[in-house]
């Protein structure tokens, strides 16, 4: 057989975990979904069905459970590092371990104005994410968020774009700007105050979006990314992705009515998808 | 042809609407998804393709847009009533109009500690719902919520159930109780302070869940429903539905570890589904 | 507490099952998803946390597995009946057992022009369904299908509907008619050749849809239902539900092009939803 | 501001298209979902809100519609090339146009044993896909399929893997092997008989899966990829991805029953995810 195995990787996806930490005065709750992917000397399993180097994906799942018991879980980043490091430390033939973690948001239920110590409600669609990649040479940490719905009802224009045979969209000075933000940022090092960095970037992205006088989705994306780099020195680079969740102004003229930017139809497809990566300028301070 | 048309109904589903109200100092935002269903004298369209009585579903969608412009939209209930009433008032051959509304949750972005006047973020998975049904004889309003994730890490037992050949589940005194609550309640009248009633019931359901010493999902459901009836006199009846979103304690014994209710696996299927309807006792006060 | 438990029911949902029957020359494969719901004397669990009458939903799942081993599984209907009958026979305080079954479609992979004896590929989105409801007085069987995508590119008109202030839709003599069919039919008895009946009705619905000169979705729905009643004497009543999966003709005039019903945009929301129930006329033959 | 725009790209996603070709004796139907992504000199829109180089994503959608009218659509590959070439030919500042296409499967309804000329039913979950990437220097075509469910009830073993503290999975000689196949292959050139190549590879993947005596998912993946390379000379490289859709044998011992590989529970998460890329060996014939 003259085919060559050019690349191979395998792992366990969607390992779901609920971790309760029982403090004296309250319980802490974390729910994570974890994807593990390994590279290394597994070729024999592909080419000859020789499984002697194979770590069963079921064992990877077990490893998540064991480490969740043996370690504290203060944030995604340190648990992801512990997991990735484990696979390289235990198995000499593993060359890369990558671990992706996503945290489901929970917040405490308020009872009589106080946070209740062991009852929680869903905190929204937004997920905090983390991707740890560890090789024998390097350890990299990327953090992020996804599915953060944001919308502003004004301060958004879009005009002056190319107008040719294929253009029917009108210029506008005032439209709704809605998106489902995904962000991912690279940390410079493998130590930082992960939760503080996350909160800083999260809040900076929200505030910049809210305040921005937008001339295009692209411009708002850029200013949000630049503000995030400015807010957290530990971050080297950030990528933002913004699907444009169009709200179309309804034409009410057939019914003898005007529509001063009050009634819109949200549409889900097709959608514009805008993406950009900003890097800290090595010649100066972001 | 000896077949009889025993029942027929039609309408427009998933009419999506974004409504911005531009106040002097801030913008208000509502996003709704609306399903309209009519009954009446439409049989000729089924049996003979005679469409002379048919209100095109596209026209129903237009009607939503027109009413959204012509009317304020303070809550689901009054907008749903306006829509349902419209169809009966305008079309003599309509005998029933039912309108279901669901509101997507948005909350204001906080900038420098203040709510920003025209920027919003997604408020979670939970949806406020409403079902209005209007006939020539009667107008009924049911309100509710759905997809409210709630979880408590303790104060939940399940023991003493039937134990026979088909039973393998162990008794437990301390388990995680997680569910995705759906609730729907019937109002006595067609006038009430809808937003206040909703907030009252919503908060009562959350507080009762948090505080409950649960002997079964059924018991917690019952006490939550009874508390809701107690909190809001305008409500006649409430139905709660609770899928049991099991969190299974991981067996760590094979790895030489104990697991004092700390590490769990969330499962999505199969799931227990518990439901109950509570009615105000006409002989007394709930 | 002056609240009354007006209604209660509980059960296990989404019990998933893979059943392999190892014949001498081939393997047969069935994959089902089963929802079980019981009514009966369970009120004590709701009102007092007394679980002594509770059949754990985990035990219901076990029961599915045991019966899947102890019984053949020739069709949804007989397995659903066996399950529902089991709950009434074993537990004297159960008054109603309803079992809903849905079958995931698999078909054999063809190798060198022959069906391979133990390899399968997904058979589509369409699911065969069945709902069995058994009480101490009555046993009822409803069968059906769901998620059957059907589309015709011509022989569909829609004209002559009400035209008033709220109407903007134009009459058309030739449009695309696409829907996602759900059908459910009641059998007269609890014995029949279930697979043959299903195949007859399934094929009759498809053929009638294909051949129909449609004046409205309503009319096509009616003729499909009447044809199904005509094809299978064992069926008393049939309900069809048809969401109108609109394909909108694209306006190419801004680009100097005509569009003779060739380029369309499929839309998913909003959608018309048409439903009707046909019953066999007791005075004659359908 | 000392942030650098390191990378940027944008486009239109989920442009949905229904294309009917009205032949004399029958209608042909294609439904596609198309994602367009451009790279080029768009930085001014990000950094200064200068949209003068921006092709509105709405115009990209219009372009799809215009080309769908002006061109035949015999296969994804030639339509994708036409689209990608268009953007480079019309806009001098575009450096890369990538177009991803996915085709929803439809097949003709059979009436009285004959394929009906203009009525269709859904053809399954499987989608044919294509990715075209065109720069000023190069044109690349990748084709593929996704969401192809395949399952074999025997001829699958998994044994001899690493056994250590983290291993609880037992060796097995006979398990169910189920996956949701994604495949993508690179063509050597930009001309080929695309439909014939697709059919060849599709059938080769199915047949190899069916016949394989599997020692691991990895091995079956490898042999399927090698067979695909062997079947179609136009293909340089193929990547297969196989999520292991585990079917767990149910333990019926608590109920006094054996389970000779007959009753299984399908699980959806977590799942093993196996991936591999095979390249034609340049030293010989695959």
According to the model, what pLDDT value does residue C123 have? 87
Test the C interface: residue of D264, D268, D269 with most C CBs within 10 Å: D264
Q: Is D277 a catalytic residue?
A: no
Average pLDDT over residues A16-25: 96
Which of the four pLDDT bands, split at 50, 70 and 90, describes residue D285?
very low
D124: contact with C, CB 8 A cutoff: yes
* Residue in B69, B70, B266 closest to A16 by CB: B266
Arithmetic mean of pLDDT over chain A: 96
B148 in contact with A at a CB cutoff of 8 Å? yes
Among B68, B120, B210, the residue with its CB nearest the CB of A119 is B210
**Residues near C158 by beta carbon (within 8 Å), at least 6 away in sequence:** B51, B56, C171, C172, C175, C215, C216, C217
- Interface size B-C, in CB pairs within 8 Å, comes to 262
Q: How many CA atoms lie within 13 A of B36 on its CB side?
A: 31
CA-to-CA separations, B239 to B146, B225, C81, D49, in angstroms, rounded = 12, 7, 29, 52
CB pairs under 8 A between A and B: 189
Nearest residue to C62 (alpha-carbon basis) of C81, C76, C41, C83: C83
Q: Which residue of chain D has the CA closest to A215?
A: D49
Of B16, B210, B259, the CB nearest to A266: B16
pLDDT at B125: 86
Q: What is the average pLDDT across D143-166?
A: 98
On chain D, the residues whose CB falls within 8 A of the CB of C154 are 27, 118
Q: Once rounded to an integer, what is the mean pLDDT over residues D138-153?
A: 98
pLDDT band at C286 (very low <50, low <70, confident <90, very high): very low
Residue of D nearest to B267 (CA): D269
Q: Mean pLDDT across chain D, nearest whole number? A: 96
**A212: which DSSP letter?**
-
Contact partners, residue B272, CB within 8 Å, separation at least 6: B217, B243, B244, B246, C10, C11, C12, C13, C57, C58
Query: Comparing C-alpha atoms, which of C248, C149, B58 is closest to residue D65?
Result: C248
B chain contacts of residue A150, beta-carbon cutoff 8 Å: 109, 119-122
> Higher pLDDT residue, D123 or C75?
C75
**Chains with at least 3 CB pairs less than 8 angstroms from chain B:** A, C, D
Contacts of B207 in chain A (CB under 8 A): 109, 111-112
Asked if the Cβ–Cβ distance from C119 to D209 is below 8 Å, we say: yes
**CB-based contact D165 B269, cutoff 8 Å:** no
A125 with B120: Cβ contact below 8 A? no
ipTM for the whole complex: 0.95
A123 touches chain B (CB under 8 A): yes
**Residue C282 pLDDT more than 80?**
no
A269/C269 Cβ within 8 A = no
D31: which strand partners?
D18, D104
CB contact under 8 A, D286 and A2: yes
What are the pLDDT digits (tens) for C175-214? 999 999 999 999 999 999 999 999 999 999 999 999 999 9
Q: What are D23-41's pLDDT values in tens digits?
A: 999 999 999 999 999 999 9
C261 and D CB contact within 8 Å: yes
Chain A contacts of B154, Cβ < 8 Å?
27, 118
- C101/C143 Cα distance (integer angstroms): 9
CB contact under 8 A, B62 and A255: yes
Please answer yes or no on whether D270 and A52 come within 8 Å at the CB atom. Answer: no
| Cβ–Cβ contact A13 with D under 8 A | yes
Which positions in chain C touch B244 (Cβ < 8 Å)? 57
List the 49-68 stretch of B: residues with Cβ below 8 A of A: 62, 65-66, 68
Q: What percent of chain A has pLDDT over 70?
A: 98
C71 chain-D contacts, CB cut-off 8 A: none
| D166–B255 CB contact, under 8 Å | yes
The mean per-residue pLDDT over the stretch C29-38 comes to: 98
**C211–D176 CB contact, under 8 Å:** no
Q: Across the interface, do D125 and C125 touch by the CB < 8 Å criterion?
A: yes
Q: Kindly determine whether residue D269 and residue B269, on different chains, have CB atoms separated by under 8 Å.
A: no
Q: How many C-alpha atoms does C212 have within 13 Å on its Cβ side?
A: 29
Tens of pLDDT along chain B (286 residues) come to 589 999 999 999 999 999 999 999 999 999 999 999 999 999 999 999 999 999 999 999 999 999 999 999 999 999 999 999 999 999 999 999 999 999 999 999 999 999 999 999 998 889 999 999 999 999 999 999 999 999 999 999 999 999 999 999 999 999 999 999 999 999 999 999 999 999 999 999 999 999 999 999 999 999 999 999 999 999 999 999 999 999 999 999 999 999 999 999 999 899 999 999 999 987 654 4
HEC sequence for chain D: CCEEEEEEEEEEEEEEEEEEEECCCCEEEEEEEEEEEEEECCHHHHHHCCCCCCCCHHHHHHHHHHHHHHCCCCCHHHHHHHHHHHHHHHCCCEEEEEEEEEEECEEEEEECCEEEEEEEEECCCCEEEEEEEEECCCEEEEEEEEEEEEEECCCECECCCCCCCCCCCCCECCCCEEEEEEEEEEECCCCCCHHHHHHHHHHHHHHHHHHCCECCHHHHHHHHHHHHHHHCCCEEEEEEEEEECCEEECCCHHHCCCCCCCEEEECCCCEEEEEEEEEECCCCCC
Contacts of D19 in chain C (CB under 8 A): 262-264
Q: Is the pTM of this model over 0.90?
A: yes
Question: Per the omega criterion (within 30 degrees of 0), is the bond before C55 cis?
Answer: no
CA distance A111 to chain D (A): 35
Cβ within 8 Å of B, C 223-242: 225-226, 229-230, 237, 239
- Set C57, C135, C153, C190: catalytic member: C57
Nearest to B147 by CA among B178, B177, B122, B180: B180
pLDDT at A282: 72
CA dihedral C25→C26→C27→C30, nearest 10 degrees, is -130
Residues of C in contact with A255 (CB under 8 A): 165-166
Burial degree of D1 (CB within 10 A; 0-12, 13-18, 19+): middle
Q: Do A263 and B22 touch (CB under 8 A)?
A: no
Q: Tell me whether residue B12 is one of the annotated catalytic residues.
A: yes
Q: From the candidates D33, D57, D153, D190, which is the catalytic residue?
A: D57
Judged by CB atoms closer than 8 Å, whether chains meet at D216 and A10 is answered as no
pLDDT at residue A284 greater than cutoff 60: no
DSSP C70: H
Tokens of B283: 């002989």
CA neighbor of B154 nearest in space, from D9, A28, A192:
A28
Q: Residue A148's closest chain B neighbor by CA?
A: B122
Inter-chain touch A2–D283, beta carbons under 8 Å: yes
Q: Which helix (H) or strand (E) holds C150?
A: strand C139-152
Residue percentage of chain D with pLDDT more than 90: 95
Task: Please give the helix or strand (H or E) that residue B217 lies within, else none.
Answer: helix B217-231
Q: Does C222 touch chain D (CB under 8 A)?
A: no
Question: Cα A42 from chain centroid?
Answer: 30
| Dihedral angle, C-alpha D232, D233, D237, D242, nearest 10 ° | 10
Q: Which of A166, A168, A254 lies nearest to residue C168, judging by beta carbons? A: A254
Q: Packing angle between helix D76-90 and helix D57-70, nearest 10 degrees?
A: 130
């Amino acid at each position: 057989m003259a085919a060559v195995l050019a690349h191979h990787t395998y792992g366990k996806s969607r390992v779901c975990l609920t971790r309760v930490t029982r403090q004296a005065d309250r319980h802490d709750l974390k729910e994570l979904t974890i994807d593990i992917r390994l590279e290394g000397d597994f070729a024999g399993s592909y080419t000859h069905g020789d499984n002697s180097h194979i770590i069963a994906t079921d064992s990877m799942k077990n490893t998540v459970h064991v480490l969740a018991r043996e370690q504290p879980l203060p944030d995604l980043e340190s648990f992801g590092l512990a997991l990735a490091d484990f696979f390289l430390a235990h198995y000499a033939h593993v060359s890369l371990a990558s671990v992706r973690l996503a945290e489901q948001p929970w917040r405490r239920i308020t009872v009589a104005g106080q946070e209740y110590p062991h009852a929680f409600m869903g905190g929204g669609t937004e997920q905090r994410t983390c991707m740890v990649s560890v090789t024998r040479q390097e350890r990299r940490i990327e953090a992020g968020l996804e599915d953060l719905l944001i919308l502003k009802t004004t301060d958004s224009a879009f005009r002056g774009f190319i107008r040719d045979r294929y253009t029917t969209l009108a210029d506008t000075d005032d439209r709704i700007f809605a998106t489902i933000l995904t962000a991912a940022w690279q940390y410079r090092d493998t130590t930082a105050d992960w939760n503080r960095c996350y909160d800083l970037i999260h809040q900076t992205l929200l505030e910049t979006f809210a305040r921005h006088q937008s001339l295009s989705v692209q411009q708002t994306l850029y200013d949000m990314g630049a503000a995030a780099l400015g807010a957290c020195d530990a971050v080297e680079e950030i990528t933002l992705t913004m699907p444009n969740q169009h709200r179309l102004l309804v034409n009410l003229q057939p019914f003898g009515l005007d529509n001063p930017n009050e009634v819109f139809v949200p549409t889900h497809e097709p959608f514009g998808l805008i993406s950009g990566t900003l890097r800290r300028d090595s010649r100066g301070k972001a």
